[in-house]
Chains A and B, each alone.
Chain A
Protein backbone atom coordinates (compact mmCIF):
# COMPACT_ATOMS: atom_id res chain seq x y z
CA UNK A 1 0.00 0.00 0.00
CA UNK A 2 1.41 3.37 -1.03
CA UNK A 3 2.08 5.66 1.92
CA UNK A 4 3.17 8.67 -0.09
CA UNK A 5 4.41 9.56 -3.48
CA UNK A 6 6.75 12.17 -4.93
CA UNK A 7 6.58 13.08 -8.59
CA UNK A 8 9.24 15.17 -10.32
CA UNK A 9 10.02 16.88 -7.04
CA UNK A 10 12.67 19.60 -7.26
CA UNK A 11 14.05 22.20 -4.89
CA UNK A 12 15.99 25.36 -5.67
CA UNK A 13 17.40 27.25 -2.70
CA UNK A 14 18.88 30.72 -3.21
CA UNK A 15 19.23 30.17 -6.94
CA UNK A 16 21.05 26.88 -6.40
CA UNK A 17 19.31 23.80 -7.70
CA UNK A 18 19.62 21.26 -4.88
CA UNK A 19 17.97 18.38 -6.73
CA UNK A 20 15.39 17.93 -9.45
CA UNK A 21 12.95 15.45 -10.87
CA UNK A 22 12.89 13.11 -7.90
CA UNK A 23 10.08 10.61 -8.25
CA UNK A 24 9.54 7.84 -5.78
CA UNK A 25 6.89 5.92 -3.93
CA UNK A 26 7.17 4.80 -0.35
CA UNK A 27 4.92 2.05 0.92
CA UNK A 28 3.55 1.08 4.28
CA UNK A 29 5.86 -1.29 6.13
CA UNK A 30 9.03 0.05 4.55
CA UNK A 31 11.95 1.32 6.60
CA UNK A 32 13.65 3.64 4.13
CA UNK A 33 17.03 5.24 4.72
CA UNK A 34 17.84 8.40 2.82
CA UNK A 35 21.60 8.66 2.34
CA UNK A 36 23.90 10.95 0.45
CA UNK A 37 26.89 13.25 0.94
CA UNK A 38 26.63 16.58 2.78
CA UNK A 39 24.67 19.11 0.79
CA UNK A 40 23.03 16.49 -1.45
CA UNK A 41 19.63 17.73 -0.27
CA UNK A 42 18.42 15.01 2.11
CA UNK A 43 16.83 17.52 4.49
CA UNK A 44 15.45 19.60 1.62
CA UNK A 45 13.94 16.49 0.05
CA UNK A 46 12.08 15.63 3.25
CA UNK A 47 11.02 19.23 3.85
CA UNK A 48 9.75 19.54 0.29
CA UNK A 49 7.93 16.21 0.58
CA UNK A 50 6.19 17.63 3.66
CA UNK A 51 5.38 20.86 1.84
CA UNK A 52 7.41 22.96 4.29
CA UNK A 53 9.52 24.64 1.61
CA UNK A 54 8.82 25.85 -1.94
CA UNK A 55 9.35 23.14 -4.52
CA UNK A 56 8.51 22.14 -8.04
CA UNK A 57 6.69 18.92 -8.86
CA UNK A 58 4.26 17.02 -6.67
CA UNK A 59 4.22 15.47 -3.24
CA UNK A 60 1.10 13.71 -2.08
CA UNK A 61 1.72 15.08 1.45
CA UNK A 62 2.24 18.70 0.45
CA UNK A 63 -1.29 18.97 -0.91
CA UNK A 64 -2.93 18.01 2.39
CA UNK A 65 -4.39 20.62 4.73
CA UNK A 66 -2.21 21.34 7.75
CA UNK A 67 -4.47 19.30 10.01
CA UNK A 68 -4.72 16.33 7.65
CA UNK A 69 -0.98 16.36 7.14
CA UNK A 70 -0.46 16.36 10.91
CA UNK A 71 -2.65 13.26 11.11
CA UNK A 72 -0.78 11.57 8.26
CA UNK A 73 2.88 12.22 8.92
CA UNK A 74 4.98 12.90 12.02
CA UNK A 75 8.17 14.88 11.38
CA UNK A 76 11.27 15.01 13.55
CA UNK A 77 13.61 17.82 12.48
CA UNK A 78 17.29 17.31 13.14
CA UNK A 79 17.50 20.09 15.74
CA UNK A 80 16.17 18.54 18.94
CA UNK A 81 14.47 21.62 20.21
CA UNK A 82 12.78 21.60 23.61
CA UNK A 83 12.27 25.24 24.50
CA UNK A 84 10.86 24.95 28.03
CA UNK A 85 11.42 22.62 30.97
CA UNK A 86 8.06 20.88 30.50
CA UNK A 87 7.78 17.36 31.88
CA UNK A 88 8.55 14.45 29.59
CA UNK A 89 4.91 13.44 29.86
CA UNK A 90 3.65 16.84 28.65
CA UNK A 91 6.22 16.89 25.89
CA UNK A 92 5.14 13.48 24.63
CA UNK A 93 1.47 14.51 24.91
CA UNK A 94 2.13 17.35 22.43
CA UNK A 95 1.99 14.63 19.77
CA UNK A 96 -1.75 14.39 20.36
CA UNK A 97 -2.37 18.03 19.36
CA UNK A 98 -3.57 17.24 15.82
CA UNK A 99 -6.17 14.86 17.24
CA UNK A 100 -7.59 17.06 19.98
CA UNK A 101 -11.03 18.60 19.87
CA UNK A 102 -11.23 22.40 20.11
CA UNK A 103 -11.72 22.17 23.89
CA UNK A 104 -8.23 20.73 24.15
CA UNK A 105 -8.85 18.11 26.83
CA UNK A 106 -6.90 14.88 26.40
CA UNK A 107 -9.38 11.98 26.10
CA UNK A 108 -8.80 8.80 28.06
CA UNK A 109 -7.80 6.63 25.12
CA UNK A 110 -5.24 9.27 24.14
CA UNK A 111 -3.83 9.14 27.66
CA UNK A 112 -3.63 5.36 27.35
CA UNK A 113 -1.64 5.72 24.12
CA UNK A 114 0.68 8.26 25.76
CA UNK A 115 1.30 5.90 28.68
CA UNK A 116 1.93 3.00 26.33
CA UNK A 117 4.46 4.92 24.24
CA UNK A 118 6.22 6.26 27.33
CA UNK A 119 6.65 2.67 28.49
CA UNK A 120 7.73 1.50 25.07
CA UNK A 121 10.40 4.20 24.84
CA UNK A 122 11.56 3.36 28.34
CA UNK A 123 10.75 6.84 29.61
CA UNK A 124 8.76 5.75 32.65
CA UNK A 125 11.41 6.81 35.13
CA UNK A 126 11.84 10.19 33.44
CA UNK A 127 8.15 10.90 33.11
CA UNK A 128 8.01 13.85 35.48
CA UNK A 129 11.50 15.19 34.78
CA UNK A 130 11.99 18.45 32.87
CA UNK A 131 12.53 17.36 29.27
CA UNK A 132 14.87 20.23 28.42
CA UNK A 133 17.28 19.16 31.16
CA UNK A 134 17.67 15.54 30.07
CA UNK A 135 20.79 14.20 28.39
CA UNK A 136 20.96 14.20 24.58
CA UNK A 137 20.03 10.53 24.32
CA UNK A 138 17.09 10.89 26.69
CA UNK A 139 15.85 13.95 24.82
CA UNK A 140 16.06 12.06 21.55
CA UNK A 141 13.98 9.27 23.06
CA UNK A 142 11.40 11.71 24.40
CA UNK A 143 11.10 13.41 21.00
CA UNK A 144 10.69 10.09 19.20
CA UNK A 145 7.98 9.22 21.72
CA UNK A 146 6.34 12.56 20.90
CA UNK A 147 6.30 11.62 17.20
CA UNK A 148 5.05 8.08 17.84
CA UNK A 149 2.22 9.44 19.97
CA UNK A 150 1.12 11.46 16.95
CA UNK A 151 0.04 8.01 15.71
CA UNK A 152 0.45 8.65 11.99
CA UNK A 153 0.85 6.13 9.16
CA UNK A 154 4.09 7.87 8.13
CA UNK A 155 7.13 8.92 10.17
CA UNK A 156 9.95 11.08 8.86
CA UNK A 157 13.09 11.87 10.80
CA UNK A 158 16.10 13.95 9.85
CA UNK A 159 19.32 12.44 11.23
CA UNK A 160 17.60 10.87 14.24
CA UNK A 161 20.82 9.19 15.36
CA UNK A 162 23.10 12.24 15.12
CA UNK A 163 24.94 12.93 18.36
CA UNK A 164 23.86 9.71 20.06
CA UNK A 165 26.13 7.08 21.55
CA UNK A 166 26.23 3.65 19.80
CA UNK A 167 23.73 2.02 22.13
CA UNK A 168 21.22 4.83 21.63
CA UNK A 169 21.84 4.83 17.88
CA UNK A 170 21.00 1.16 17.67
CA UNK A 171 17.97 1.34 19.92
CA UNK A 172 16.66 4.37 18.01
CA UNK A 173 17.00 2.54 14.71
CA UNK A 174 15.29 -0.50 16.22
CA UNK A 175 12.33 1.59 17.30
CA UNK A 176 11.93 2.93 13.78
CA UNK A 177 12.29 -0.54 12.33
CA UNK A 178 9.65 -1.89 14.71
CA UNK A 179 7.32 0.93 13.70
CA UNK A 180 7.85 0.01 10.07
CA UNK A 181 7.25 -3.67 10.81
CA UNK A 182 3.95 -2.68 12.43
CA UNK A 183 2.88 -1.32 9.06
CA UNK A 184 3.96 2.32 9.13
CA UNK A 185 6.10 3.91 6.45
CA UNK A 186 9.35 5.26 7.90
CA UNK A 187 11.77 7.58 6.13
CA UNK A 188 14.96 8.58 7.95
CA UNK A 189 17.99 10.42 6.67
CA UNK A 190 21.25 8.92 7.86
CA UNK A 191 24.95 9.64 7.73
CA UNK A 192 25.94 6.40 9.40
CA UNK A 193 25.97 3.93 6.53
CA UNK A 194 26.60 1.04 8.91
CA UNK A 195 23.30 1.72 10.64
CA UNK A 196 21.64 2.16 7.26
CA UNK A 197 22.94 -1.22 6.11
CA UNK A 198 21.73 -3.03 9.21
CA UNK A 199 18.34 -1.51 9.93
CA UNK A 200 16.79 -0.27 6.69
CA UNK A 201 14.77 -2.38 4.26
CA UNK A 202 15.47 0.07 1.46
CA UNK A 203 17.98 2.84 0.79
CA UNK A 204 17.66 5.88 -1.40
CA UNK A 205 20.97 7.43 -2.45
CA UNK A 206 20.71 11.14 -3.17
CA UNK A 207 23.65 12.66 -5.04
CA UNK A 208 24.49 14.67 -8.16
CA UNK A 209 21.15 16.51 -7.96
CA UNK A 210 18.94 13.46 -7.95
CA UNK A 211 18.35 9.88 -6.85
CA UNK A 212 21.19 7.79 -8.25
CA UNK A 213 20.22 4.53 -6.59
CA UNK A 214 17.14 3.15 -4.89
CA UNK A 215 16.82 -0.40 -3.63
CA UNK A 216 17.85 -2.92 -0.98
CA UNK A 217 20.89 -1.85 1.12
CA UNK A 218 23.22 -4.48 -0.41
CA UNK A 219 22.55 -3.09 -3.85
CA UNK A 220 22.80 0.63 -3.00
CA UNK A 221 25.91 0.31 -0.83
CA UNK A 222 27.92 -1.21 -3.68
CA UNK A 223 31.59 -0.29 -4.06
CA UNK A 224 30.86 1.49 -7.32
CA UNK A 225 28.07 3.68 -6.04
CA UNK A 226 29.93 4.51 -2.81
CA UNK A 227 33.02 5.59 -4.76
CA UNK A 228 30.91 7.65 -7.11
CA UNK A 229 28.71 9.41 -4.56
CA UNK A 230 30.82 9.68 -1.40
CA UNK A 231 34.29 9.13 -2.88
CA UNK A 232 35.05 6.31 -0.44
CA UNK A 233 36.10 2.71 -0.63
CA UNK A 234 34.06 0.35 1.52
CA UNK A 235 33.97 -3.08 3.06
CA UNK A 236 30.59 -4.74 3.00
CA UNK A 237 29.79 -8.27 4.07
CA UNK A 238 26.87 -10.40 5.11
CA UNK A 239 27.86 -12.02 8.38
CA UNK A 240 26.04 -14.37 10.69
CA UNK A 241 25.02 -11.35 12.76
CA UNK A 242 23.60 -9.50 9.76
CA UNK A 243 25.06 -7.15 7.17
CA UNK A 244 28.17 -5.23 8.24
CA UNK A 245 29.24 -2.15 6.37
CA UNK A 246 32.38 -0.15 6.97
CA UNK A 247 33.72 2.85 5.03
CA UNK A 248 37.51 2.43 4.61
CA UNK A 249 39.35 5.13 2.68
CA UNK A 250 38.74 8.31 0.78
CA UNK A 251 39.46 7.58 -2.86
CA UNK A 252 40.38 10.07 -5.56
Chain B
Protein backbone atom coordinates (compact mmCIF):
# COMPACT_ATOMS: atom_id res chain seq x y z
CA UNK B 1 0.00 0.00 0.00
CA UNK B 2 1.51 3.24 -1.03
CA UNK B 3 0.83 6.55 0.64
CA UNK B 4 -1.42 7.59 -2.25
CA UNK B 5 -3.67 4.58 -1.75
CA UNK B 6 -3.90 5.23 1.98
CA UNK B 7 -4.80 8.88 1.38
CA UNK B 8 -7.45 7.97 -1.20
CA UNK B 9 -8.86 5.24 1.01
CA UNK B 10 -9.07 7.57 4.02
CA UNK B 11 -10.79 10.21 1.89
CA UNK B 12 -13.22 7.60 0.64
CA UNK B 13 -14.12 6.41 4.13
CA UNK B 14 -14.37 9.97 5.46
CA UNK B 15 -16.65 11.04 2.64
CA UNK B 16 -18.76 7.92 3.14
CA UNK B 17 -19.40 8.90 6.76
CA UNK B 18 -20.00 12.51 5.76
CA UNK B 19 -22.41 11.42 3.06
CA UNK B 20 -24.42 9.50 5.65
CA UNK B 21 -24.91 12.62 7.75
CA UNK B 22 -26.24 14.84 4.96
CA UNK B 23 -29.87 15.02 4.00
CA UNK B 24 -33.05 17.08 4.09
CA UNK B 25 -34.06 15.52 7.41
CA UNK B 26 -31.44 17.68 9.09
CA UNK B 27 -30.48 15.13 11.70
CA UNK B 28 -27.34 15.87 13.76
CA UNK B 29 -24.38 13.86 12.53
CA UNK B 30 -23.88 11.81 15.70
CA UNK B 31 -27.55 10.88 15.96
CA UNK B 32 -27.73 9.81 12.37
CA UNK B 33 -24.69 7.55 12.60
CA UNK B 34 -26.00 6.10 15.87
CA UNK B 35 -29.39 5.47 14.28
CA UNK B 36 -27.73 3.47 11.53
CA UNK B 37 -26.69 0.83 14.04
CA UNK B 38 -29.69 1.13 16.31
CA UNK B 39 -31.91 -1.90 16.80
CA UNK B 40 -35.19 0.03 16.94
CA UNK B 41 -36.99 0.56 13.69
CA UNK B 42 -37.76 4.21 14.31
CA UNK B 43 -38.08 6.75 11.49
CA UNK B 44 -34.49 7.86 11.93
CA UNK B 45 -33.14 4.36 11.48
CA UNK B 46 -35.38 3.95 8.46
CA UNK B 47 -34.07 7.16 6.89
CA UNK B 48 -30.51 6.06 7.47
CA UNK B 49 -30.84 2.48 6.28
CA UNK B 50 -33.31 2.90 3.45
CA UNK B 51 -32.37 6.29 2.01
CA UNK B 52 -28.89 7.47 2.94
CA UNK B 53 -27.00 4.20 3.19
CA UNK B 54 -27.93 2.91 -0.30
CA UNK B 55 -27.11 6.30 -1.77
CA UNK B 56 -23.69 6.40 -0.12
CA UNK B 57 -22.88 2.80 -1.07
CA UNK B 58 -23.94 3.37 -4.68
CA UNK B 59 -21.76 6.49 -4.91
CA UNK B 60 -18.77 4.46 -3.74
CA UNK B 61 -18.92 1.57 -6.10
CA UNK B 62 -20.37 3.31 -9.13
CA UNK B 63 -17.59 5.90 -8.76
CA UNK B 64 -15.02 3.17 -8.18
CA UNK B 65 -16.29 1.26 -11.18
CA UNK B 66 -16.17 4.26 -13.49
CA UNK B 67 -12.65 5.16 -12.31
CA UNK B 68 -11.46 1.58 -12.74
CA UNK B 69 -13.05 1.12 -16.15
CA UNK B 70 -11.69 4.48 -17.30
CA UNK B 71 -8.15 3.58 -16.26
CA UNK B 72 -8.45 0.21 -18.00
CA UNK B 73 -9.81 1.72 -21.23
CA UNK B 74 -7.07 4.35 -21.29
CA UNK B 75 -4.44 1.68 -20.66
CA UNK B 76 -5.81 -0.62 -23.33
CA UNK B 77 -6.16 2.06 -25.98
CA UNK B 78 -2.98 3.82 -24.82
CA UNK B 79 -4.88 7.04 -25.01
CA UNK B 80 -5.50 9.40 -22.08
CA UNK B 81 -8.74 10.56 -23.70
CA UNK B 82 -10.40 7.15 -23.64
CA UNK B 83 -13.26 6.63 -21.22
CA UNK B 84 -15.73 3.86 -20.34
CA UNK B 85 -18.53 5.48 -22.38
CA UNK B 86 -16.47 4.92 -25.51
CA UNK B 87 -17.76 1.37 -25.83
CA UNK B 88 -21.30 2.62 -26.38
CA UNK B 89 -22.54 0.58 -23.44
CA UNK B 90 -23.64 3.57 -21.38
CA UNK B 91 -25.46 4.91 -24.44
CA UNK B 92 -27.28 1.66 -25.08
CA UNK B 93 -28.08 1.22 -21.38
CA UNK B 94 -29.52 4.74 -21.37
CA UNK B 95 -31.56 3.87 -24.45
CA UNK B 96 -33.02 0.86 -22.62
CA UNK B 97 -33.98 3.07 -19.69
CA UNK B 98 -35.42 5.75 -21.94
CA UNK B 99 -37.58 3.18 -23.69
CA UNK B 100 -38.82 2.00 -20.30
CA UNK B 101 -39.84 5.55 -19.44
CA UNK B 102 -41.24 6.17 -22.92
CA UNK B 103 -43.45 3.11 -22.87
CA UNK B 104 -44.63 3.77 -19.34
CA UNK B 105 -43.06 0.50 -18.18
CA UNK B 106 -40.90 2.37 -15.70
CA UNK B 107 -43.97 3.66 -13.87
CA UNK B 108 -45.44 0.18 -13.46
CA UNK B 109 -42.55 -1.34 -11.52
CA UNK B 110 -39.59 0.09 -9.70
CA UNK B 111 -37.25 -2.46 -11.25
CA UNK B 112 -38.54 -2.13 -14.80
CA UNK B 113 -36.21 0.78 -15.58
CA UNK B 114 -32.96 -0.75 -14.31
CA UNK B 115 -33.75 -4.05 -15.99
CA UNK B 116 -34.54 -2.31 -19.28
CA UNK B 117 -31.23 -0.45 -18.98
CA UNK B 118 -29.37 -3.70 -18.31
CA UNK B 119 -31.04 -5.24 -21.34
CA UNK B 120 -29.88 -2.25 -23.37
CA UNK B 121 -26.34 -2.70 -22.04
CA UNK B 122 -26.35 -6.40 -22.93
CA UNK B 123 -27.52 -5.64 -26.47
CA UNK B 124 -24.87 -2.93 -26.75
CA UNK B 125 -22.04 -5.17 -25.58
CA UNK B 126 -23.24 -8.04 -27.79
CA UNK B 127 -23.14 -5.73 -30.77
CA UNK B 128 -19.67 -4.52 -29.91
CA UNK B 129 -18.38 -8.08 -29.51
CA UNK B 130 -19.85 -8.99 -32.90
CA UNK B 131 -18.46 -5.87 -34.57
CA UNK B 132 -15.04 -5.69 -32.91
CA UNK B 133 -14.77 -9.37 -32.02
CA UNK B 134 -11.76 -11.03 -30.41
CA UNK B 135 -9.58 -10.38 -33.47
CA UNK B 136 -10.07 -6.72 -34.36
CA UNK B 137 -7.52 -4.15 -33.28
CA UNK B 138 -8.14 -1.31 -30.86
CA UNK B 139 -9.19 0.97 -33.73
CA UNK B 140 -12.01 -1.41 -34.65
CA UNK B 141 -13.15 -1.31 -31.03
CA UNK B 142 -13.27 2.49 -31.01
CA UNK B 143 -15.14 2.61 -34.32
CA UNK B 144 -17.64 -0.01 -33.17
CA UNK B 145 -18.15 1.92 -29.91
CA UNK B 146 -18.73 5.16 -31.78
CA UNK B 147 -21.20 3.46 -34.12
CA UNK B 148 -23.17 1.95 -31.24
CA UNK B 149 -23.11 5.22 -29.26
CA UNK B 150 -24.33 7.14 -32.27
CA UNK B 151 -27.12 4.67 -32.95
CA UNK B 152 -28.21 4.59 -29.30
CA UNK B 153 -28.07 8.39 -29.18
CA UNK B 154 -30.16 8.69 -32.31
CA UNK B 155 -32.78 6.27 -31.00
CA UNK B 156 -32.85 8.11 -27.67
CA UNK B 157 -33.47 11.36 -29.53
CA UNK B 158 -36.20 9.63 -31.51
CA UNK B 159 -37.89 8.54 -28.28
CA UNK B 160 -37.68 12.12 -27.00
CA UNK B 161 -38.97 13.42 -30.30
CA UNK B 162 -41.97 11.12 -30.28
CA UNK B 163 -42.59 11.21 -26.55
CA UNK B 164 -46.31 11.08 -25.87
CA UNK B 165 -46.35 14.09 -23.54
CA UNK B 166 -43.99 16.74 -22.19
CA UNK B 167 -43.85 15.00 -18.82
CA UNK B 168 -42.37 11.86 -20.29
CA UNK B 169 -39.84 13.93 -22.22
CA UNK B 170 -39.01 15.78 -19.04
CA UNK B 171 -38.56 12.59 -17.12
CA UNK B 172 -36.29 11.16 -19.81
CA UNK B 173 -34.10 14.26 -19.88
CA UNK B 174 -33.78 14.35 -16.10
CA UNK B 175 -33.06 10.64 -15.85
CA UNK B 176 -30.28 10.93 -18.38
CA UNK B 177 -28.50 13.50 -16.23
CA UNK B 178 -27.76 10.80 -13.67
CA UNK B 179 -28.69 10.79 -10.02
CA UNK B 180 -28.39 8.75 -6.85
CA UNK B 181 -31.32 10.25 -4.94
CA UNK B 182 -34.17 8.01 -3.81
CA UNK B 183 -32.32 4.79 -4.52
CA UNK B 184 -32.95 1.81 -2.27
CA UNK B 185 -30.97 -1.23 -1.17
CA UNK B 186 -32.68 -3.08 -4.03
CA UNK B 187 -30.72 -0.89 -6.41
CA UNK B 188 -27.54 -1.67 -4.49
CA UNK B 189 -28.08 -5.43 -4.71
CA UNK B 190 -28.94 -5.07 -8.37
CA UNK B 191 -25.80 -3.18 -9.39
CA UNK B 192 -23.26 -4.64 -6.95
CA UNK B 193 -22.79 -8.04 -8.66
CA UNK B 194 -22.17 -6.31 -12.00
CA UNK B 195 -19.58 -4.09 -10.38
CA UNK B 196 -17.82 -7.00 -8.68
CA UNK B 197 -17.76 -9.20 -11.77
CA UNK B 198 -16.54 -6.31 -13.92
CA UNK B 199 -13.88 -5.30 -11.40
CA UNK B 200 -12.48 -8.83 -11.24
CA UNK B 201 -12.38 -9.08 -15.03
CA UNK B 202 -10.51 -5.81 -15.30
CA UNK B 203 -8.13 -6.63 -12.45
CA UNK B 204 -7.05 -9.76 -14.35
CA UNK B 205 -5.89 -7.59 -17.27
CA UNK B 206 -3.47 -5.53 -15.14
CA UNK B 207 -0.29 -7.21 -16.34
CA UNK B 208 -1.40 -7.09 -19.95
CA UNK B 209 -2.11 -3.37 -19.66
CA UNK B 210 1.44 -2.84 -18.40
CA UNK B 211 2.84 -4.79 -21.34
CA UNK B 212 0.72 -2.73 -23.75
CA UNK B 213 2.86 0.27 -22.82
CA UNK B 214 5.20 -1.15 -25.47
CA UNK B 215 2.47 -1.52 -28.11
CA UNK B 216 0.31 -4.46 -29.15
CA UNK B 217 2.97 -6.45 -30.95
CA UNK B 218 5.57 -6.21 -28.20
CA UNK B 219 2.90 -7.07 -25.62
CA UNK B 220 1.94 -10.15 -27.58
CA UNK B 221 5.53 -11.36 -27.66
CA UNK B 222 5.73 -10.80 -23.91
CA UNK B 223 3.20 -13.61 -23.66
CA UNK B 224 0.04 -11.50 -23.38
CA UNK B 225 -3.02 -12.98 -25.04
CA UNK B 226 -4.51 -9.87 -26.59
CA UNK B 227 -7.82 -11.42 -27.66
CA UNK B 228 -8.47 -12.63 -24.15
CA UNK B 229 -7.44 -9.26 -22.75
CA UNK B 230 -9.82 -7.43 -25.07
CA UNK B 231 -12.74 -9.71 -24.22
CA UNK B 232 -12.14 -9.34 -20.47
CA UNK B 233 -11.81 -5.60 -20.81
CA UNK B 234 -14.91 -5.09 -22.94
CA UNK B 235 -17.08 -7.39 -20.82
CA UNK B 236 -15.69 -5.99 -17.57
CA UNK B 237 -16.25 -2.39 -18.59
CA UNK B 238 -19.68 -3.20 -19.99
CA UNK B 239 -20.65 -4.94 -16.77
CA UNK B 240 -19.58 -1.99 -14.62
CA UNK B 241 -21.01 0.69 -16.86
CA UNK B 242 -24.20 -1.23 -17.61
CA UNK B 243 -24.88 -1.92 -13.94
CA UNK B 244 -24.03 1.64 -12.96
CA UNK B 245 -26.10 3.28 -15.68
CA UNK B 246 -29.05 1.03 -14.86
CA UNK B 247 -29.35 2.36 -11.32
CA UNK B 248 -27.87 5.85 -11.57
CA UNK B 249 -28.22 7.02 -15.15
CA UNK B 250 -25.42 8.31 -17.29
CA UNK B 251 -22.61 9.85 -15.24
CA UNK B 252 -19.81 11.23 -17.33
CA UNK B 253 -16.31 12.55 -16.76
CA UNK B 254 -15.43 10.37 -13.74
CA UNK B 255 -13.87 7.66 -15.90
CA UNK B 256 -12.07 10.26 -17.97
CA UNK B 257 -10.76 12.71 -15.41
CA UNK B 258 -9.87 10.49 -12.45
CA UNK B 259 -7.28 8.29 -14.20
CA UNK B 260 -5.88 11.38 -15.85
CA UNK B 261 -5.33 13.17 -12.56
CA UNK B 262 -3.91 10.15 -10.76
CA UNK B 263 -1.61 8.88 -13.53
CA UNK B 264 1.41 11.01 -12.59
CA UNK B 265 1.00 9.94 -8.95
CA UNK B 266 1.48 6.24 -9.76
CA UNK B 267 4.43 6.77 -12.08
CA UNK B 268 2.11 6.34 -15.10
CA UNK B 269 2.05 2.58 -14.54
CA UNK B 270 -1.21 1.27 -16.06
CA UNK B 271 -1.56 -1.56 -13.54
CA UNK B 272 -1.03 0.63 -10.49
CA UNK B 273 -3.44 3.15 -11.94
CA UNK B 274 -6.30 0.63 -11.76
CA UNK B 275 -6.61 0.51 -7.98
CA UNK B 276 -5.77 4.20 -7.59
CA UNK B 277 -8.45 5.18 -10.10
CA UNK B 278 -11.04 2.95 -8.46
CA UNK B 279 -10.39 4.66 -5.13
CA UNK B 280 -10.22 8.07 -6.80
CA UNK B 281 -13.48 7.46 -8.67
CA UNK B 282 -15.21 6.59 -5.41
CA UNK B 283 -13.87 9.81 -3.87
CA UNK B 284 -14.91 11.97 -6.83
CA UNK B 285 -18.44 10.58 -7.12
CA UNK B 286 -19.01 10.86 -3.37
CA UNK B 287 -17.81 14.45 -3.44
CA UNK B 288 -20.18 15.19 -6.31
CA UNK B 289 -23.07 13.46 -4.59
CA UNK B 290 -22.42 15.41 -1.41
CA UNK B 291 -22.18 18.61 -3.46
CA UNK B 292 -25.60 18.10 -5.08
CA UNK B 293 -27.15 17.87 -1.62
CA UNK B 294 -25.34 20.84 -0.14
CA UNK B 295 -25.35 23.36 -3.00
CA UNK B 296 -29.03 23.24 -3.91
CA UNK B 297 -30.73 20.97 -1.37
CA UNK B 298 -34.24 21.89 -2.57
CA UNK B 299 -33.74 21.71 -6.29
CA UNK B 300 -32.67 18.10 -6.92
CA UNK B 301 -29.44 19.02 -8.68
CA UNK B 302 -28.40 16.07 -10.88
CA UNK B 303 -25.20 14.17 -10.21
CA UNK B 304 -24.13 13.96 -13.86
CA UNK B 305 -24.44 17.72 -14.13
CA UNK B 306 -22.08 18.24 -11.22
CA UNK B 307 -19.48 15.71 -12.44
CA UNK B 308 -19.53 17.47 -15.82
CA UNK B 309 -19.28 20.89 -14.20
CA UNK B 310 -16.30 19.74 -12.15
CA UNK B 311 -14.80 17.59 -14.87
CA UNK B 312 -14.85 20.06 -17.73
CA UNK B 313 -12.67 22.75 -16.04
CA UNK B 314 -10.28 20.05 -14.82
CA UNK B 315 -10.01 19.02 -18.41
CA UNK B 316 -9.24 22.55 -19.48
CA UNK B 317 -6.46 22.55 -16.93
CA UNK B 318 -5.11 19.34 -18.45
CA UNK B 319 -5.14 20.90 -21.91
CA UNK B 320 -3.21 23.85 -20.52
CA UNK B 321 -0.70 21.51 -18.89
CA UNK B 322 -0.30 19.41 -22.04
CA UNK B 323 0.31 22.48 -24.14
CA UNK B 324 2.88 23.73 -21.67
CA UNK B 325 4.65 20.35 -21.66
CA UNK B 326 4.81 20.37 -25.42
CA UNK B 327 6.64 23.67 -25.57
Contacts and interface: CB of A to CB of B under 8 A. Distances in A.
A201 B211 CA distance: 32
B213 A66 contact: no
A94 B218 CA distance: 10
A66 B212 CA distance: 15
Nearest to B215: A81
Given A82-B214, A84-B263, A69 B221 contact: yes
Given A83-B78, A84-B263, A86-B269, A94 B223 contact: no
Contacts of B218: 75-77, 81
B196 interface: no
A48 interface: no
Nearest to B218: A77
Interface of B: 78, 206-207, 210-215, 217-218, 220-225, 263-264, 267-271
B222 A70 contact: yes
**Which has the most chain B C-beta neighbours within 10 Å: A52, A67, A77, A82?**
A77
Contacts of A185: none
A77 B217 contact: yes
Nearest to A91: B213
Given A76-B218, A97-B222, A82 B213 contact: yes
B213 A97 contact: no
A86 B215 contact: no
Given A77-B215, A84-B268, A94 B221 contact: no
A150 B220 CA distance: 13
B223 A79 contact: no
Interface SS, B side: helix
A98 interface: yes
Counting from the closest, the 8 A-B pairs by CB-CB distance are A70-B223, A81-B215, A83-B78, A84-B268, A75-B221, A98-B223, A67-B223, A85-B268
A146 B221 contact: no
Interface in A38-74: 47, 50, 52, 66-67, 69-71, 73-74
Nearest to A50: B221
Contacts of A95: 222
A164 B315 CA distance: 36
B207 A70 contact: no
A81 B270 contact: no
Interface of A: 47, 50, 52, 66-67, 69-71, 73-77, 79, 81-87, 90-91, 94-95, 97-98, 100, 104, 130, 143, 146, 150
A14 to B, nearest CB: 16
Given A75-B217, A81-B214, A97 B223 contact: yes
30 contacts: A52-B217, A52-B220, A66-B223, A66-B224, A67-B223, A69-B223, A75-B218, A76-B218, A77-B218, A81-B78, A81-B214, A81-B215, A81-B218, A83-B212, A83-B214, A83-B215, A84-B78, A84-B263, A84-B268, A84-B270, A85-B268, A86-B267, A86-B268, A94-B210, A94-B214, A94-B222, A97-B210, A97-B222, A97-B223, A98-B222
A71 B214 CA distance: 17
A73 B225 CA distance: 16
Contacts of B271: 104
Contacts of B214: 81-83, 91, 94, 143, 146
B219 to A, nearest CB: 9
Contacts of B215: 77, 79, 81, 83
Contacts of A50: 221
A147 to B, nearest CB: 9
A39 B85 CA distance: 40
A68 to B, nearest CB: 8
B29 to A, nearest CB: 42
A99 to B, nearest CB: 9
A184 to B, nearest CB: 16
**Which has the most chain B C-beta neighbours within 10 Å: A84, A95, A104, A143?**
A84
A82 B269 CA distance: 12
A130 B212 CA distance: 16
A84 B218 CA distance: 15
Contacts of A81: 78, 213-215, 218
Contacts of A91: 213-214
Contacts of B220: 52, 66
Given A85-B268, A86-B269, A70 B221 contact: yes
Given A69-B223, A76-B218, A104 B207 contact: yes
Contacts of A143: 214
